[in-house]
Structure formats: C-alpha cells, structure tokens
Chain A
C-alpha cells in the first residue's frame, strides 16, 4: 500500500528560528513529490520535486528530495508568524492511475 509519512506532527517555534519538516514515502512508480501550505482554507502549492529537479528554493523556504532515502525535507529559515500553517507533503504515483497521496501534515506554530 502506498504511504506518505510526515514528521513531526506538530511543532512550536519562536520567530527567527529555523525549522526542518520531514516527509518519507513508500510508493510504487514514484513520479514526483509536492509540498503544500495550508492556512485556514485551501492548500496552496509551494514546490514540486522530481528525479530531474531534486532541490527547490523560494525566499526563506527550500526543499530537497533524497531519492535514495525515499524522503524529502522542507526548510524554513528565519521563521515569521505568517509561516504558521499546516504543511502537507504529497507524492504522485503512476501505478495504474494518476493519484496524489498525502501525508498527515505537520502543524507549525510560530510564536512572536
């Protein structure tokens, strides 16, 4: 059974701290891994990582895919209260159908 596991489940930090969120996966026919940020409503897309693009960076956020370890990390440096959200990891598997498999998410709270 395809599975995506995120850790930690929740995290509380202070503004200015650096955080690392983890995502590991067991899927057949891995295609790509995506990170989403979910505040109050719909998840919004952050990054997509594939075999040909294993590192992405946008401002204070960066992500790396480790295909050998079947995992990815999302780093946020100099955290701000606006980074408080649930961060979701999803893996696309093409085993028979085109499906996104989501992890449980990491709830991040940044204190002022």
Chain B
C-alpha cells in the first residue's frame, strides 16, 4: 500500500548543480502533479501530466523539466539549481476524480 513515493527525502545542492526528484505511484492514476511549497506561500503548481507522454506547465515552471514515459513515474528535473529553488517539493496523483494523493515531499536546499 505504497501510494505516492518520493525520493530523496532531503537534498542539499550547490548553485549550478543539477538533480532529478523521483516520484512514482502504484495506484494506476493518470493525473500526476509537482508542487513546491515555500513558507507561508501555499502550494504552487510546477508541472502536471494527464497521462503517459503528456505534460504541461503549471504556474511556476521556469528552471524545471519533467517527463512522463510511464503511468507510474513522473520525475522532476532541475538543470541549474538556484537559491530560489530552495523549497519543499510535493508530488501528487489522482484518478479522473478528486482528491489528490500526496507523497511525503522532498526538502531541497540550494546554497
């Protein structure tokens, strides 16, 4: 009964480094989302996907890329890390109806 699994839990990056945040779900959900949560700012949508091979930008996509080659996996790529990308990142999934199911998040610090 894994649900939505995110790895790693924590990561510290230096400015300019790149990394991939992994997200996988075992509920056969078509819809998957990446959010970032900054203190006092709620959740902001970075990218989302409505099915394998289909992705689209959310509110704050700059500096990020995604791919969706399978229903289960939706990795988020940071190419050139910047301090402004310090945040907690949540992956979520849903079937065609609500609610969203969230992973436990990845806390990323860029210094």
Binding site for B on A (CB under 8 A): 4, 6, 9, 32, 34, 36, 41-45, 48, 88, 90, 92, 97-105
Contact = CB atoms under 8 A, between A and B. Distances in A.
Given A98-B31, A99-B58, A100-B33, A45 B99 contact: yes
Contacts, number: 54
B40 A43 contact: no
B98 A32 contact: yes
Q: Chain A interface mostly helix, strand, loop or mixed?
A: strand
Nearest to A33: B98
Q: Chain B interface mostly helix, strand, loop or mixed?
A: strand
20 contacts: A32-B98, A34-B98, A41-B104, A41-B105, A42-B103, A43-B43, A43-B100, A43-B102, A45-B100, A45-B101, A48-B99, A88-B42, A97-B50, A99-B45, A99-B48, A99-B58, A100-B33, A101-B45, A102-B35, A105-B42
Classify chain B: how many residues form its interface, as a range. Answer: 20 to 34
Given A42-B90, A42-B103, A92 B42 contact: no
Contacts of B31: 98
A48 B98 contact: yes
A9 B41 CA distance: 10
Contacts of B26: none
Nearest to A32: B98
B104 A102 contact: no
A104 B98 contact: no
- Most B CB within 10 A of own CB, among A6, A36, A48, A100: A100
A88 B105 CA distance: 16
Q: Which 6 A-B pairs have the closest CB atoms?
A: A42-B102, A104-B42, A102-B43, A45-B99, A41-B104, A102-B42
